[in-house]
Amino acid sequence: MPGSVSALRLFGVPVRFHFTFVLLLIFLAVAGWKGRQSVAADIVFVLALFASVLLHELGHAVVARRCGVRTLEIVMFPIGGVARMERTPRPRDELRIAVAGPAVNLVLAGLILAGLALWRGPAVAGPEALADPTDANLLERIAMGNLILALFNLLPAFPMDGGRILRSLLALRRPEEEATQIASRAGRTLAVLMGLFGLISMHFLLVFIAFFVYLGAAQEGQAALGRSLMEGLPVRAAMVTRYLTLAHGQTIGEAARLMLESTQQDFPVLHGDRVIGLLDRHRLLRAMASEGASAYIAGVMNREFPRLDPEMDLSAALPALAAGPCALVMEGDRLLGLLTRENLSEFLVLRRLGMGGAAGDAA
């Protein structure tokens, strides 16, 4: 996902941090200094909330794996995390996956509060602990943070888990695209109301959260529209059929010049008539910086490039483009074309404008 950096891998799933996640850490640190707790307690609270969000997303990923859906990555944002799946699950599976995240936080909150009740007796602090942070109510604040995280995510609007639960229930009786648009509209409406309330009450953190909720809801709606536009179409309808190739004996400098002279950024690498690799823009620039212009492309190209069958469903090809900017469309060992993110976006725009046939012919 753009704007994110790799951090670690859990259960085989890459965990990345969006650059805006730093804003959350700064806010929590500043808010902690205003309270009566120590610096150590403030650090523990921030780390505990981070761990809670991460466990929430891992809950999604584990259940998704059981449903046969691979999680491509987990990205940490200021208002929570996003477990990005390789495809949209079936409605019944999506219901189980969506419920798993809030369930993790409810279990964590329940275990902490139950432990405190056994340790200190039944008088356990409630939400007021968040308004007056101290070292003594650290565990209560962690429990309440998990409870708030679960309840917030259960709101029936995208991009929260409640929106996915709503979509999965609607999709049992309605088309998926219609169900997604309903949940997306609910998310945008919630974001507007949340933002207005935040402005009126001078709670600017709420405005900040509303902004991310609105963006997430809008993106889900656009993604659903894209899937509906691809429905029933093969990969060959959107592939690029006019492209340049590189020979395995060419240098990085020659590849760079070819990229500058054309609009193409991803190049199949051939040995004779056989495709042996793919050189994308990122690999080319990295090689230019580390190896120099005289290095051979055969040493830096991607030999495990994604391959797509020309007749496969276009929506089924999306995971290949999630892993990289370009996939090669091949019939056996014969190269037929390229499918790139940029060309697919242009194809969908033209198809939405009623020029689907023309887009397929031009590609």
Residue-wise pLDDT for 298-329, tens only, equals: 889 999 888 999 998 887 787 777 767 889 99
Read off φ and ψ for residue 335, nearest 5 degrees.
-80, 125
pLDDT, greater one: 103 or 41: 103
Q: What's the whole-number average pLDDT of the chain?
A: 81
In terms of domains, do 38 and 177 share one? no
- Among 244, 249, 259, 245, smallest CA distance to 296 is for 249
Q: What mean pLDDT comes out for the span 120-147? A: 71
pLDDT of residue 333: 87
In terms of domains, do 136 and 185 share one? no
In terms of domains, do 77 and 217 share one? no
- Amino acid occupying residue 184: S
pLDDT of residue 100: 92
pLDDT, greater one: 18 or 299: 299
Q: Is residue 262 part of a domain?
A: yes
pLDDT of residue 358: 42
pLDDT, greater one: 86 or 69: 69
In terms of domains, do 28 and 147 share one? yes
pLDDT of residue 37: 65
Q: Is residue 166 part of a domain?
A: no
Q: Is residue 168 part of a domain?
A: no
Total structural domains in the chain? Answer: 3
Identify the bridge partners of residue 264 per DSSP, sorted by sequence position: none
Q: What mean pLDDT comes out for the span 28-57? A: 74
pLDDT, greater one: 328 or 183: 328
- pLDDT category, 363, cuts 50, 70, 90? very low
Cα separation of 270 and 266, whole Å? 13
Inter-residue contact 353 to 229 (CB < 8 Å): no
In terms of domains, do 77 and 210 share one? no
Q: Is residue 32 part of a domain?
A: yes
In terms of domains, do 112 and 11 share one? yes
Q: Is residue 72 part of a domain?
A: yes
Q: Is residue 167 part of a domain?
A: no
In terms of domains, do 12 and 141 share one? yes
Q: Is residue 57 part of a domain?
A: yes
* pLDDT exceeds cutoff 60 at 128: no
* pLDDT exceeds cutoff 80 at 25: no
In terms of domains, do 240 and 202 share one? no
In terms of domains, do 20 and 142 share one? yes
In terms of domains, do 188 and 83 share one? no
Q: Which of the listed residues 121, 154, 187 is the one where a domain comes to its end?
A: 154
Three-class SS of residue 202? coil
Domain of 275, CATH number, reads: 3.10.580.10
- Among 272, 277, 328, 267, smallest CA distance to 299 is for 277
Which region among 74-88, 186-200, 316-330 has the lowest average model confidence (pLDDT)? 74-88
In terms of domains, do 39 and 111 share one? yes
In terms of domains, do 136 and 199 share one? no
* pLDDT exceeds cutoff 80 at 194: yes
Domain boundaries, position 31: 4-154
Inter-residue contact 23 to 78 (CB < 8 Å): yes
C-alpha radius of gyration, the chain, whole number: 24
Q: What mean pLDDT comes out for the span 243-268? A: 91
Q: Is residue 287 part of a domain?
A: yes
pLDDT of residue 127: 57
Q: Percentage of the chain with pLDDT > 90?
A: 19
pLDDT of residue 361: 40
Which region among 192-206, 217-231, 307-321 has the lowest average model confidence (pLDDT)? 217-231
Q: Which of the listed residues 216, 231, 246 is the one where a domain comes to its end?
A: 231
- For residue 237, give every residue at least 6 positions away whose Cβ sits within 8 Å of its Cβ, in sequence order, or none: 314, 347, 356, 359, 360, 363
